[in-house]
Amino acid sequence: MPVNALPTHLITGLLGSGKTTLLRHLISQKPANERWGILINEFGDIDLDAATLQATNSGEHVHIQEVSGGCVCCTAQHGLTQALHTLLQQPLDRLFIEPTGLGHPAKLLDTLKRTAFARPLALQAVVCVITPSQLTPERWQKSAVMRDLVTLADLIVLNKTDQAGSELQQQAVALLNGLYPPKTAVIATQFGRLDWTQLQRPHQPAPLLFLQGLDEHAEHLACANTKYTSSLPQHPACWVSHDAKTARLRALGWIFSAQTQFNRIALKAFFNEISPHLARAKGLLKTGNEWQLINWSDGQLTFEDIAWRQDSRLELLFNNEVELTENDLELSLAATINNLNNRAK
């Protein structure tokens, strides 16, 4: 965290999920020696949520600023920056931002990262408050806003579990675990009750799915996962898995910085070259100003827009019959990685 950076918490969620209730509960736990700033985005012109928090606030060391009349993710971005500049004039120890449940938080994240404030903001784990009744397969398919909110979140607060049966809760958790990357940081609660210290976590990269899955689901294989020294620039994190008995390559995964940008045409050529060896591939890659979900299965490569801002990542799962020793891995995969890199912008 940069010197003097302000820990900043983004509390997102659909309308009716309980974001404001959660904020009220957080305020009630504020350490006496800390000064908090709260920025509330009201979609309409009447500041109901801000008024609710003002009523909760004891008045000591909590500064509440509202942005109304639009969404800070799009039409009210200027209002957002003005409100933040105002809040940052206060000697704050922590900042909370609650955007409207109708907005697209990816654009808000972009604004926070690109705007020069008097004090740098240190974004903490992004929180999405959602209920099991909202997080159903049917609504997931229909609601792009829901998919974006969940995709961007580091921490899912599954709220109002008292209003949902065990079947709905299990269905919601299964949906989260089935995403790429899976959402493993899930806290079930009622009435927005959350220990505020659980928010004090910086962003941690999500686990690599294929490498994790080999250990958990392929018991017949004696797989060994190791960190692989990559020759790519920007020092991406890189892991490799191979069968410990046969040295056959099983999986390979990279995590790049969020600044790395890839060329879609070159990516297609890359997958055409390695497709005879592939069983599956997934990725979240920045191919311009936005990220795309990359999916390779049964010889078909697809690209899908996705609200992802944390990093770029690519995972490759190889066929069982591919016989590659560890020396082959060092030679052929290093060349493959360089091949990918040479095609990245």
pLDDT under 70 in the chain at which residues?
1-2, 42-60, 68-77, 102-103, 203-205, 211-225, 227-235, 247, 321-345
pLDDT at 326: 40
Tell me the torsion sign for CA atoms 272, 275, 277, 278: positive
Q: Cα–Cα distance between 320 and 318 in angstroms, integer?
A: 7
Are 156 and 183 spatial neighbours (Cβ–Cβ below 8 Å)? yes
If we measure between CA atoms, which residue out of 61, 55, 149, 67 comes closest to residue 105? Answer: 149
Helix, strand, coil proportions of the chain in percent (round to 5)? 35, 25, 40
What does the pLDDT look like over 311-320, one tens digit per residue? 889 888 888 7
Q: Where are the alpha helices (DSSP H) in 162-229?
A: 166-177, 209-217
| Measured CA distances, 162 to 6, 27, 150 (Å) | 35, 22, 21
pLDDT at 289: 79
Element (H, E) at 324: none
pLDDT at 52: 52
Task: Take residue 119 and report the two structure tokens written for it.
Answer: 């004090």
pLDDT at 55: 47
- The CATH code belonging to domain 6-199 is 3.40.50.300
Residue 92 per-residue DSSP state: -
The CA angle 78-84-89, to the nearest 5 degrees, is 135
What does the pLDDT look like over 139-173, one tens digit per residue? 999 998 899 999 999 999 999 999 999 999 999 99
Task: Take residue 311 and report the two structure tokens written for it.
Answer: 């990093």
pLDDT at 25: 92
Residue 38 has φ and ψ, to the nearest 5°, of -125, 125
Domains of the chain, residue spans: 6-199, 209-342
Element (H, E) at 144: helix 144-152
pLDDT at 248: 75
pLDDT at 219: 41
pLDDT at 45: 41
pLDDT at 234: 60
Q: Which CATH class name applies to 209-342?
A: alpha beta
Residue 163 per-residue DSSP state: G
Q: Which residues contact 94 (CB under 8 A, 6 or more apart)?
A: 6, 7, 8, 9, 34, 35, 36, 37
| Measured CA distances, 153 to 16, 106, 182, 248 (Å) | 18, 10, 11, 36
Residue 341 has φ and ψ, to the nearest 5°, of -65, -40
Residue 327 amino acid letter: N
Q: Are strands 278-286 and 312-318 parallel, antiparallel or unpaired?
A: antiparallel
Q: Cα–Cα distance between 102 and 227 in angstroms, integer?
A: 41
Q: Which residues contact 148 (CB under 8 A, 6 or more apart)?
A: 104, 105, 106, 307
Q: Cα–Cα distance between 135 and 169 in angstroms, integer?
A: 9
Are 247 and 221 spatial neighbours (Cβ–Cβ below 8 Å)? no
* Greatest C-alpha distance within the chain: 68
pLDDT at 288: 80
pLDDT at 31: 92
Q: Cα–Cα distance between 272 and 252 in angstroms, integer?
A: 17
